[in-house]
Structure 1
Amino acid sequence: MLTLALALAAALPSAEQCRAVAGNPEAALAQSIGLQGYIYGYPMVDLLRQRHNETHRVAAEQPVAAPANTMAIYPHLLTPETQGQLRAANVDTLYLNAWLDLSKGPVMLDVPAMGDRYYTLAFMDLYGRPLHIGTRTNGGATTRYALVGPGTPAPEGAEVIRLATDTVWMLGRVLAVAGPDLERARELSAAIRFDGPSGPPVEAAEPLRPFDSLLFYALLNEALRGVPVRAGEAGLMAMFDKAGFGPGAAFDPASLSEGQKLGLGCALRSGPGVLSQRGFRPTHVRNGWMWSSNIADPGFDYLLRAEAARGGYVNDPEESIYPAAITDHRGEPLQGGRRYRIRFAADGLPPVDAFWSITAYDRATSQLMPNAIGRYTIGDRTDGLVRDEDGSLTLHLSSSEPPEGKANWLPVPATPFHVVLRMYLPQKDALDGHYAPPQIERIEP
């Protein structure tokens, strides 16, 4: 891997330099291939960045740091102070975090009996595709698994889970409620164990920031050299080889011409704008809420895959669905200076077999923001919710306490914000798109 000093030496070209690329054929070609590499490789580079930053001590306040093949547990339900690098984090569960290295052989996983407590362990390969183990797959029973990478023989005596890449991020969620239940959730989380060759001990290091230098292509090259070429992608990989960062190349910025460096740098400069303007295309838009039924397996839609990673990664729809809303019933962006309400009819609550919740995030960062009552989610497990006389449920969203009081109030950031409705173990009506959450109605101003 390139050192940070080398990465900083290859800082991105200026916007003015990039405007001149069209007149330089070598730079234009490198920019074209580099942009495709940026879109294709975004999940890979982002995950390798995160792996480094969570298997090293890169900040005094970071919430988790553990060697490979070792579980780290976020000890609290998340708040603005403890959310760390997680984007659009939930406030319903304890998070469990692990980085797996399957290159040296299988890693065994033992889970205890979880009973009727909801949990899921989501294993994310370098392509950003999830595979789940948990309540939905084993009914909460004690189970022993063998986690196996591509091309590795499967051991006997355990249920085999085969992953597409040797590097895997595991993000687990165990339902917890603030109060006495939280300690029981911690005990069960601590009983989930990995058994495999441990990685190097955690040491202090500088954080990786690969999206603003040619370090991006060094990390992408590292990833591509370590994964099997997927069916239908041989031609794309050959093109990446030609640019110096494909699986058959060894990326070396010193060997690049000035035109190639310029083109690749300009690809990194333009890449974020391409993702934000085109990446996410929902398959469902209902009452202002957007979600996609194919985001967990986007196939060859690399833009969708990259935008999903940029937004915080996804689960299989059968595990959970996360409709998001950024506008009110008038189609105007949600703003922290306004008051809103969501009214669920008595028979119109989210159809789930586990639970549901709504959380608000700062739109620019997808982060939780502090509020006066320390409430960051509201849903079917919120104490003290008050139903209307007809059995409906009206939730109030505002940055200051509404006239109706705190009972049904979800505090939102004072900034522009978006909201996410989480439906855990969604029922058929939610999976097939027949259920639509009610619109977010602006009350004032």
Structure 2
Amino acid sequence: MSKYLATVAAAAALLCATELHSAALAEQTTAQSFADLAKPPVDATPPPEYVRAIARSAYIWGWPMVNMMNRRAKITQAPEPGLLGGVLPVAPRGQIGMLHDYIEPSERFVVCPNQDVVYGLGFFDLDSEPVVIQVPDFGDRFWVYALYDQRTDQFGKLGQPYGTKPGFYLLAGPNWKGELPDGISGVVRSSTSLANAIPRVFQNDTEEDRTAIQSVINQVVVYPLSEFDGKMKTIDWSEAPTIPNPAQDGDTETAWVVPEKFFDQFPEVLKTVAPLPGEEALYAQFRWLMDVVAKNPDLKKAIVEEAVATEKEVIAPFFEWKHNGKPAGNSWNRSVNNAQWGVDYYDRTGTAKSNMFDNRPNETQYFYTDNDTSGAALDGSKTYAITFAAGQEPPVNGFWSLTLYNEHHFFSPNKRNRYSLGTKNKNLKRNDDGSLTLYAGLASPGKDKESNWLPAPDGPFSLYIRAYWGKKPILDGSWQPPKIEIVE
């Protein structure tokens, strides 16, 4: 009996080994022969409906990357680092601009800005020339340099959560092979040549801290590698020049993706952004699409029409928070895979539309809603109480805040010039039991509660919680955002 069992075991082992070898061989063959696989002929005459179907998929997939291309084109027109219209930090390609205080409510470059940090912004072409980014000594102050590739994925780990030391760091593209000079503390590589940086440096809401932060942020400087001399450069960002902005910003975010122009720009994405593992077939279909429509004006017209329809039917609904991330309880949703999208095209495109330039999950978790706990739409004509039970404020190593946005995901100007409340505020009043109630609405909740009040517009608004450098309950989803209840 034992001999029989041994024979069976040996046969099973041989079969298993053969199957593993065959699977490995098949995988190797597939990887080696993809370029030789059959693809649709470019001289085919496909029905418009088929072409439209692929065009819709291409539009959804490529929307964030065309978005990045157009932001870079605009921001890098600046002749020098400064403030576009006196509001938005801008700079030529290869440099950054920095604010010296919270961002102004009139900013329209990107939706859902916050007023907890001092921002910077710059775009690069890292294969043409890497850039040096300076890290001053921030002491105990929270900071992070969010670095984004063209896919809007973050790359590199520069910030307080990573224990980054002061020094000079080189940002390089995937194909740069130059010589590294002495004095560089580390090299951070982007997966694409197009990249940008958005430094975030925490500042509390006091005049003392506004003064204290200046000497630090004045050393947040970026410049081409050719200008590196091993010495810390300083720019007084409070004296940054105003760069005229001829565009009228309006109430909504600048339209960075224009459907009628999308497919004229899309081939550049396919050329400059390398496929992720498994995306080769996707790229092949999209390239075929572009080849076919290039030879057929009627089909080109059809995909432009499809782009316009997809913008309205698919992209626009992402602006509603219920379509972003996943439910988090009490009518809130929370971010998923932020800035580490991989092949999560759903959340990548949704975030690019609703609140682009998230930090990665371990750096920040986001909670957002358009509704109160009953599911009714938030409206400034009512007053809402948002109560964190004692010990149940967002558990973070960095800081947290509750921000109020209007229906366009921007700040709603108010006489108090107040748009968020949280760690930065030193005068919040707690309830007798240690809980913290914040209020949102057009009308004052009462003189004794105004320190805890976020003024709202007379109409729809949304609420947004940021938890920077969250602790385990934030990261594993066990912390639940608070109820939002109408004050009777």
Structure that is richer in helix per residue? 2
Deviation at 1:203, TM superposition (A): 10
Q: What percent of counterpart residues are identical?
A: 28
Question: Equivalents in 2 of 1:124, 1:218: separation in Å?
Answer: 24
> In the superposition, relative to structure 1, how do residues 211 and 316 fare at CA in structure 2: closer, same or farther (>3 Å)?
closer
Aligned to 1:69: 94
Structure 1 contact 27–260 (Cα < 8 Å) conserved: no
Tell me the residue number matched to 1:362. 406
Secondary structure of the residue that 2:462 maps to in structure 1?
strand
The offset of 1:439, in angstroms, is 0.8
Which one-letter code corresponds to 2:167 in the other structure?
A: T
Unaligned runs of 5+ in 1: 1-23
1:137 to 158, 162, 166: 162
* 1:362 and 1:369 in contact (8 A); partners too: yes
| CA–CA separation in structure 1 for the residues paired with 2:172 and 2:68 | 19
Q: Which residue of 1 aligns with 2:176?
A: 152
CA contact (8 A) 1:34 1:268 kept: no
Aligned to 1:29: 50
Q: d(CA) in 2 for partners of 1:222 and 1:269?
A: 22
Contact 1:26–1:260 under 8 Å retained in 2 = no
Q: Of 104, 109, 112, which aligns to 1:85? A: 109
Contact 1:136 / 1:319 at 8 angstroms: preserved in 2?
Answer: yes
Question: 1:348 Cα deviation (Å)?
Answer: 1.1
1:53 and 1:356 map into 2 onto residues whose CA distance is 32
CA distance in 2, matches of 1:413, 1:133: 37
Give the SS at the match of 1:359.
Answer: strand
The Cα shift of 1:393 comes to: 1.0
CA contact 2:325–2:347 (8 Å) conserved in 1: no
Q: Distance in 1 between matches of 2:431 and 2:244?
A: 55
Aligned-pair CA distance for 1:412: 1.9
User: Which residue does the alignment assign to 2:21?
Assistant: none
Matched, 1:392 2:435: yes
- Structure 2: how far apart are the matches of 1:62 and 1:372? 19
Tell me the equivalent position of 2:276: 230
Matched, 1:320 2:364: yes
Partner of 1:45: 66
Aligned residues: 410
What's the counterpart of residue 16 of structure 1? none
In structure 2, what is the Cα distance between the partners aligned to 1:80 and 1:195? 28
TM, length-normalised to structure 1: 0.85
> Do residues 120 (structure 1) and 141 (structure 2) align?
no
CA contact 1:28–1:263 (8 Å) conserved in 2:
no
Contact 1:337 1:398 in 2 (8 A): yes
Distance 2:395 2:85 in 1: 42
Give 1:302 shift: 1.4
- Rg larger for: 2
Q: Which amino acid is the alignment partner of residue 290 of structure 1?
A: N
4+ runs of 1 displaced by more than 4 Å? 57-62, 154-157, 202-210, 276-279
> Any idea what the Cα deviations from partners look like across 1:289-311, whole Å, max 9, x if unmatched?
21133233333231221111112
SS of equivalent to 1:130: coil
Name the SS of the counterpart of 1:168 in structure 2.
strand
| 1:256–1:75 distance in 2 versus 1, CA, 3 Å | farther
Question: What letter is aligned with 1:401?
Answer: S
TM-score with structure 2 setting the length: 0.78
Change (3 A) 1:185 1:288: same
Matched, 1:163 2:206: no
Cα distance in 1, alignment partners of residues 367 and 187 from structure 2 = 32
User: What residue number does 1:196 align with?
Assistant: 224
Q: Is this contact kept in 2: 1:35–1:271, CA < 8 A?
A: no
Q: Runs of 5+ in structure 2 lacking a partner?
A: 1-44, 228-242, 249-253
